Structure formats: structure tokens, C-alpha cells
Structure 1
Amino acid sequence: LPHRAATALVTTGPFAWSRNPIYLANGLLLLGLGGLFDNAWFFVAAPVAAFATDSLAIRREERHLAALFGADWVHYSGRTRRWVGRHK
């Protein structure tokens, strides 16, 4: 629930490969719709939406998670990238 404090740090499943799999899926959906409808505006909107999401939501959420989960958050964020992939 977006307006409630987190109660658990989920690090498995899709969260093992992206700290923000839902936001990532939204961006991919925009790109897919751009291809499906052959509309360049979706391709423009995807990075704009990703930047806005990163600036307005993700950074704030990460501060909240760091304060709530401390060392567990540091370990998780050190091995899993914000958007996609794992750190080596």
C-alpha cells in the first residue's frame, strides 16, 4: 500500500533483479505500447516518466527503507540495482 510504512523488505522474486519491478514494468509497458500503436510519443513518455518516478517517488521510498531497515537495506541496495540488474 503506497501510503503506509513498509513492514518487510522483500528481496526475492522480481525484487532480486530490480528494486522497483513495478515501476520498471510500467516503463516497459509504455515502450511496448509505443511499438504496438506505432506512436513515438510513448517512446518519449517512457524516459520522462522514469525520470519523474525516480525523482518524485523512488528516492523518497529509498530513504524510508534505509531508515526502517538499516543494514539490511544497505546490503540489498548494494547487490540489486535500482532499475534492473545486480551489482557484481
Structure 2
Amino acid sequence: MTEPNTSASSVVPETTVPWPPLLLAVVAVLAWALTVWAPLPWTGTDDSPARWLGWAFGILGLLLIVFAMRALVQHRTTIMPNKTPTTLVTTGPYVRFRNPIYLGEVLLLLYAAEITKSLWFVAAAAVFAVLVTALQIIPEERRLEAIFGDAYRDYKSRTRRWI
């Protein structure tokens, strides 16, 4: 973790739209509606190992989100994706993933696919991953590089974006 950057907001403007929670809500609602109105046949298995895998995705996704938010709060930086961070957090799940909250949200969508037996949630997970990368992660990475410079570039070189 680097020291807090008190002038972070003056370096790069904040984004105005909190894309990740909005995108998650939209793709989840669309997947649910399509599951009800235009169901796609489930191509996966409906056996105990598949159910356990689905539950594992859900639990892991929830844990990633909780521990990532906890790390952000502990370091007194924002958890809002449309606000400028004041501290580069590299502890907790951020040791392994640059975007553990978004990864957790994808895992929750895959969990929803298994428990609803709906391919629409698999599609929603893929669409969410692409859109959150384009609308949030790439601009966020530019902002973090502008704010934290070499510290962020070093972190980026040793930590994966997704998995």
C-alpha cells in the first residue's frame, strides 16, 4: 500500500457514473426477465457437483466483495467506483487481483446461473465483464496511474486484472 495521496482529486477528474453497480443491476434484471419470458435450455448438468460448484462461485464471489471492501475501508479510501481513490490498496484480495469486487460480481452472476439453471445469467456475466472493463476498469487504471505513478505501474505489473 502506498501513502494516501491528498491531492488525488486534482490529478484526474472523477467519473460521474458509478458504472459497476448500475451495470450489475441492469444485467441481473435483464437476465432474470429473459429467464422468465424467454428461457434458454440449461446445457449444464443438474447434479450434485454442479450445484456445489455453483454454491462455491457464490460464496467465493461474496467473500471477494466483502474482503475487498473491508480492505478499502481499512485504508480509508473510497469504495465508490465513481470517486477518486486517495490510497493505493495492495493488501487483502488486492494482493492477487486488481479488481476483486468486479470479479466477485461476475462469480455471483455465475452462481445465479447455476441456481436458476439459466444461460441468461452466464451471458449476463460475460456482458458485465466486458462492459465493466470498458467503462470502468480501463479508465480507472489510467486514473490510478496518473495519481500513483510508478507505485501503480509496479503493482499492475505483478497483479492480474481479473484472474
The question of a shared fold, defined as TM-score above 0.5 by the shorter chain, is answered with yes
Distance 2:160 2:88 in 1: 15
1:1-88 correspondence runs (5 A):
1-84=80-163
Alignment root-mean-square deviation, CA:
0.8
| Paired residue secondary structure (1:3) | coil
Q: Offset at 1:5?
A: 1.5
Q: Aligned-pair distance for 1:4?
A: 2.3
Count, aligned residues: 84
Name which structure has the greater RCO, CA cutoff 8 Å, separation 6+: 1
Q: 1:22-76: per-residue Cα shift (whole Å, max 9, x none)? A: 0000000000000011011001111111000000000000000000000000100
- Indicate the structure (1 or 2) with the bigger Cα radius of gyration: 2
Unmatched segments (≥5 aa) in structure 1: none
| TM-score scaled by length of structure 1 | 0.92
Structure 2: segments with no counterpart, 5+ residues: 1-79
Rounded to whole Å, the distance in 2 between the matches of 1:83 and 1:3 is: 19
TM-score normalised according to structure 2 size: 0.50
The structure 1 segments of at least 4 consecutive aligned residues displaced by more than 3 Å after TM superposition are: none
